[in-house]
A and B are shown apart, each in its own frame.
Chain A
Amino acid sequence: MSTMDRSTTAFQELIGTMRQHWANQLYPALHERFEQATQGQTPTDSDQAGQAVQDLPLYHWFCFIERHYQRMKYSDPRWGLVAALSARPDWVAEQLHPAQDSAYLRLRPELPLPDYYSAIDIHQHPGNLVGADYDGLMYRASATSIHPNTRRFEAHERMAQWLQSQGNFLSVLDMGCGFGKCGFPIARHFEQAQVLGIDLSAPCLRLAARTAEQEGLRNIRFEQADAAQVPCEDASFDLVTSTQLLHELPVEVIAQVLAESYRLLKPGGLVAHLDFRARQPWPQFLIEGHSVRNNEGFLPGFNRMDIAAAYLAAGFEPVRVEPFAETEGATRADWPYWRFPWTLFWSRKPA
């Protein structure tokens, strides 16, 4: 955010540097201690993996820093994002599409928010993504220091490239689109497509619509809607996708989202949800611990659910569950740094 004062900029840069150090220095050291403790034997489950490190001071600091770098980023009373953005309402207003419908935006202020959505300050984002006008801007600013060792929004660019390898799509639904970080690369890669992004968060949608308008993207628009109950006709799309949506949902809502994905797809259409999955004991221990420390309470339920059965129950062909490299080489077995266990869940609606 170039409009931040020098102190806020220096503070937020420090937060990003801390995250990088945590991922690239502390995590490899912790992993080395884990390897020493287990002596090359694979633990039977994530609990046993945790027992190998949970008494180490290094692990305590690893957890503490993961929790508090993120808390400080948002909630530091002087230089956190809440303080910075709430003090600049005029600048915030300039960045957002007006809260009225246009070719880029349709809001539904009457749309009820599901209970699960307001149950948690996801990512430690105070008040979640629906409280203040600046929530989308805050989410976008925060996202810059979440994914170490990748270029800005690199995973989303790579997802769009992967989609290109699967064919051409003319009608695309991006569920849980946020401020557009997933939908924009798709709109750019599929110039002939009409892309619809839906999300519950009006502040995110207003930022997405304004960004699309400013970038002159004519083939994407945004609507306020629940991915579990989308106000579109059956068989409206030939691609239904999401990125980092499913793990934020309770298991029963995930089933609803998959059912909607099926209903909304044309026969033969592609469903591709990009998210996280870690079923080996050590990465499972790490990601489920992350879920506690970063207020992502539904992530363990998603991680442990039988996703293959859920796709089949929705009507899809057998789902492909594939590791996804958010940057070149990230899925290599010897990748040394902390990372999210990006995973692609894709299938097709029978033709």
Chain B
Amino acid sequence: MNDTAKTGKRAEPELQFFESADTDRMAQMLMVMAAELHVLRDRVRCLEFILTQQGTLAPAQLDQFTPDAGQAQVLQQDREAFVAHLFEVLDGRAKSTSGRGNPLVPVIQGHGA
């Protein structure tokens, strides 16, 4: 197995679709944010379903909750992982190779090449 390939750390620049690479990277950050938001909403909603079904959660409890030290540390780790995920795109590297530069692959202009 090619570990480099599986982890997606290619040396090749990512395709560009907007006028500047900055815009493309911003758009990728937006995609990450959207995914984060969706996954979080999904988990919270599922959690609410479960806890409500079990009768262990009343709606007001969420807003009144204050984490203890250990819980605060968990939340901090989550925040740090989130920021790392958000900024992961900024190196501008393709996460899968397009085959550009390989003589076997014809180049088609005008499609984000």
Contact = CB atoms under 8 A, between A and B. Distances in A.
**Interface pairs A-B: 7 shortest CB-CB:** A127-B5, A120-B99, A10-B42, A297-B105, A124-B96, A75-B95, A289-B111
A257 B17 CA distance: 35
Contact of A126 (B8, B28, B110): B8
B48 to A, nearest CB: 13
Interface-central residue, A47, A76, A124, A126, by most chain B CB under 10 Å: A126
A230 interface: no
Interface in B19-61: 24, 27-28, 31, 34-35, 38-39, 42-43, 46
A292 B111 contact: yes
Interface string A271-293: 00000000000000000110111
A7 interface: yes
A11 to B, nearest CB: 5
B70 interface: no
A43 interface: no
Contacts of B28: 68
A77 B88 contact: yes
Contacts of B46: 6
A63 B96 CA distance: 16
Contacts of A54: 110
19 contacts: A10-B43, A11-B35, A63-B111, A64-B17, A64-B18, A67-B17, A68-B31, A79-B35, A82-B6, A126-B6, A126-B96, A132-B1, A289-B108, A289-B111, A291-B108, A291-B111, A292-B15, A295-B99, A298-B105
Contact of B39 (A7, A61, A82): A7
Contacts of B104: 115-116, 119, 250, 297
Given A63-B17, A127-B6, A14 B98 contact: no
A71 B35 CA distance: 13
A119 B99 contact: yes
Given A64-B18, A131-B6, A71 B96 contact: yes
Given A75-B8, A119-B102, 12 more contacts: A7-B42, A72-B31, A77-B8, A116-B104, A121-B96, A121-B97, A127-B5, A131-B2, A289-B108, A289-B111, A293-B111, A297-B105
B99 A297 contact: yes
Given A6-B43, A75-B96, A64 B6 contact: no
* B interface: dominant SS: loop
B106 interface: yes
Contacts of B74: none
Contacts of A126: 5-8, 95-96
Interface of B: 1-2, 5-8, 15, 17-18, 24, 27-28, 31, 34-35, 38-39, 42-43, 46, 81, 85, 88, 95-99, 102, 104-106, 108, 110-113
A234 to B, nearest CB: 30
A208 to B, nearest CB: 20
Contacts of B88: 77
B26 to A, nearest CB: 11
A121 B5 CA distance: 9
A288 B111 CA distance: 8
Nearest to A8: B39
Nearest to A76: B35
Interface in A76-119: 76-79, 82, 86, 115-116, 119
A47 B110 contact: yes
Contacts of A136: none
A50 interface: yes
B23 to A, nearest CB: 9
A300 interface: yes
A298 B110 CA distance: 16
